[in-house]
Amino acid sequence: MPSFGPDRIRNVALVGHAGAGKTTLAEALLHLSGAISRRGSVEDGTTVSDHDPAEKARKHSVTLSVLPFEWKGHRITLLDTPGDPDFASDVEAALRVADLAVFVVSAVDGVQVGTEAAWRAAAAHGVPRMVFVSKLDRERASFDATLEALRDRFGAGVAPLELPIGAEGGFRGVADLLSDTAYSYSEGTATTGEIPADMEEQEHRVHDNLVEGIVVADDDLLERYLEGDVPSVEELERTLAAGVDDATVFPVVCGSATAEIAVDRLADFICEIGPSPLDRPPITVTAGDTTVDIAPDPEGPPLAFVFKTVADQFVGHLSMFRVLSGTIRGDDHLVNTRSGADERLHALVRVRGADQEPVTELIAGEIGAVAKLSATLTGDTLAPRGRPVAAAPLEPPEAVHAVAISARTPADEDRLAPALHRLVEEDPGIRVRRDDETHQTLLCGVGEAHVGLALERLEAKFGVGVDVGDVAVAYRETITGEAQAEGRHKKQTGGHGQFAVCTLAVAPVERGAGFGFASTVVGGAISKGYISAVQKGVEETMARGGPLGHPVVDVHVTVTDGKEHAVDSSEMAFRAAARLALLDALAAAGPSLLEPTSRVEVTVPADAQGDVMGDLTARRGRIEGAEAGADGEQVVIARVPTSEMRRYAVELRSLTGGRGRFRVEPAGYEPLPDHLVEQARRQQADADD
């Protein structure tokens, strides 16, 4: 590919709900531009974007794909993103490096939950937005209903630049509202002409509304317009481009990717009114405690932000990055400002789906990739030595759905840890943690599909088989009353024996107070050195588990009396005696199970608030309040037993049509109801087996 200046670069994220047609649109753009000779299909698994085996099997995108092509003297790099909310971390990554987000909205299905979620994310990042209404050649397609839904959901800034000519099976072209020109298509080729007579009145009315909406953003243009001077198409486009860049105007265009109707017009608009890297605000980076604004200047210091990592078992890492500043050349040395490692960028490539094209350099604003960076992860910044600046790291969605995994065979056990490490490097939305109490390895993700894909990749990509189970609940136990017991440890096997006696009194303390220990021993019945051994024995026993088999909390232990032997007593003997005494005392003091609870914040549309509150209550939750969120949403706050939240990510999505989301954090322990105690005991017995 030839070189282009930053003013001729367009980095575009394709976002929207699953099934809206993003990948099909990307395929049509690649085909029309000549980047590919034949257009593939999602159904056949032959698209450039969906090259992963998991994507071919599912027939939808599950990962971000980079797709550059040339169009009329510009380099457009598409970032085709998944529409499934489980893979929202890739949408976040794309929006961090895109200068424009094109929302693909189905004219059949309208504005869906994935559209809304991506719009919130783009607004949070301040990314300019435009909309491509797709599938206008399908049965039940309605441009008017879709446009109305867009305006209703996203405000008055939504402005149509085109109207469809024909409907459903008769859809054949578009009317350009800026130039009052009709574009009719036959087998992907456009011819221009007059606006059809049956839509002249509508087109002129919408055209006038559009022009008025554009000129109000420019005082000089508005004054001329009011004096009767009609602005030229070029003037309108310049003013419109400024509104797009400010994210105050959201143009709407339309077409059909499968029939390649008006897809070329979308590429034209991306070049004409879409912002280049030079049009966007400077990137703010941190340098210690200060912040610095970095402009996309090819002559500036080389700086790159890694937004995606692909882990391959054969070639290692492939780090995809955007050049924030300067010009990066093959064999350059840059420093990872997080790890401090010196990284040599051996062979630069430009990625298109699964294909790689070697390049000698990449300038500010371009997106490229490099293999085999040893200490660089997604979200890292590469900078010149002596200039330790860093862009803000990526913040993937919370990993709220978890499963327990274990190696299937001893050979899998050896490979599991490295494979999990590679998996997390590739997808920062995945979390892996070891629960030392339940002895489980937990694989956590955004949702069921996200975790399911990670499990598939463990086996298919890294050759590791795992068994999957439910996440065990980490119960605690405490006591409800007071008791006292004596522990006697005595062994005689020839030579020095073992002898220790101690009496312990136990009493409950306030929930969350933890462990307390005291001694009221008088008269030297137990030496001071052995008192500390008793305390160690108590602490070890509480951690190992009380009469019910779980760690003991919120208990105060007092050693009241005991006996020792001048020869046979030892620290080990008193630790053993303390264990015996504590277990007997706890058993006599009315042991009680405590279950972990979580503080949950659930954000939902107002019309779903009642259903969500009822569902939380049915999960033994306690509603602590509700407050107004953004965009008319409601935030419900509750404290819920953690065991009831294990599949909440899946069930909330079903309950709210995918519009609910939640945050969860530990919130301490509360008594487990009596009718659930036996169930908890069975779980512990199964875990011990």
CB burial readout 318-330, b (16+ within 10 A) else e: bbbbbbbbbbbeb
Asked whether the domain spanning 595-688 has the same topology as the one spanning 405-469, the reply is: yes
Q: How far is CA 629 from CA 9, 90, 112, 478, in A?
A: 37, 25, 20, 39
For residue range 553-601, what is the model confidence (pLDDT) as tens digits?
A: 999 999 999 999 888 889 999 999 999 999 999 999 999 999 999 999 9
Q: How far apart are CA 336 and CA 564, in angstroms?
A: 61
CB-based contact 202:162 (threshold 8 Å): no
The stretch 342-361 carries a mean pLDDT of 93
pLDDT at 196 over 80: yes
Q: How much is the pLDDT for 494?
A: 63
The stretch 218-234 carries a mean pLDDT of 84
> What is the separation, in whole angstroms, between the first and last Cα of the chain?
62
Q: Indicate if the alpha-carbon torsion angle 200, 203, 208, 214 is positive or negative.
A: negative
Q: What is the CATH number of domain 405-469?
A: 3.30.70.870
Question: Quick one: pLDDT band at residue 671, thresholds 50, 70, 90?
Answer: very high
DSSP one-letter string for 304-315: EEEEEEEEETTT
- As assigned by CATH, the class of the 476-589 domain is alpha beta
DSSP H or E segment with residue 405: strand 401-407
Question: Quick one: pLDDT band at residue 212, thresholds 50, 70, 90?
Answer: confident
DSSP one-letter string for 65-96: EEEEEEETTEEEEEEE---SGGGHHHHHHHHH
Nearest to 347 by CA among 312, 373, 374: 373
| Domain residue ranges in the chain | 6-279, 283-391, 405-469, 476-589, 595-688
The stretch 612-621 carries a mean pLDDT of 95
Q: How much is the pLDDT for 388?
A: 87
Whole-prediction pTM value? 0.88
Indicate the SS3 state at residue 492.
coil
Maximum average pLDDT range among 221-230, 319-328, 673-682 = 319-328
pLDDT at 492 over 80: no
If one compares 483 and 680, the residue with the highest pLDDT of the two is: 483
Q: How far apart are CA 294 and CA 296, in angstroms?
A: 7
pLDDT at 415 over 90: yes
Q: How much is the pLDDT for 147?
A: 96
Q: How much is the pLDDT for 317?
A: 83
For residue range 63-112, what is the model confidence (pLDDT) as tens digits?
A: 999 999 999 999 999 999 999 999 999 999 999 999 999 999 999 999 99
- As assigned by CATH, the class of the 6-279 domain is alpha beta
Q: The domain 283-391 belongs to what CATH superfamily?
A: Translation factors (2.40.30.10)
Angle between helices 263-273 and 22-33 (to 10 degrees): 80
201: exposed, middle or buried (C-beta count within 10 Å: 0-12, 13-18, 19+)? exposed
Q: Indicate if the alpha-carbon torsion angle 175, 179, 184, 189 is positive or negative.
A: negative
Gyration radius of the chain over CA positions: 32
CB-based contact 474:437 (threshold 8 Å): yes
Q: How much is the pLDDT for 688?
A: 58
Q: What is the CATH number of domain 595-688?
A: 3.30.70.240
Q: How far apart are CA 612 and CA 602, in angstroms?
A: 8
The stretch 167-185 carries a mean pLDDT of 95
If one compares 436 and 464, the residue with the highest pLDDT of the two is: 464
Helices (H), 107-255: 113-125, 143-154, 200-215, 219-226, 233-245
Q: How far apart are CA 58 and CA 51, in angstroms?
A: 11
Q: How much is the pLDDT for 223?
A: 85
For residue range 320-337, what is the model confidence (pLDDT) as tens digits?
A: 999 999 999 999 999 999
Nearest to 266 by CA among 254, 279, 278, 250: 254
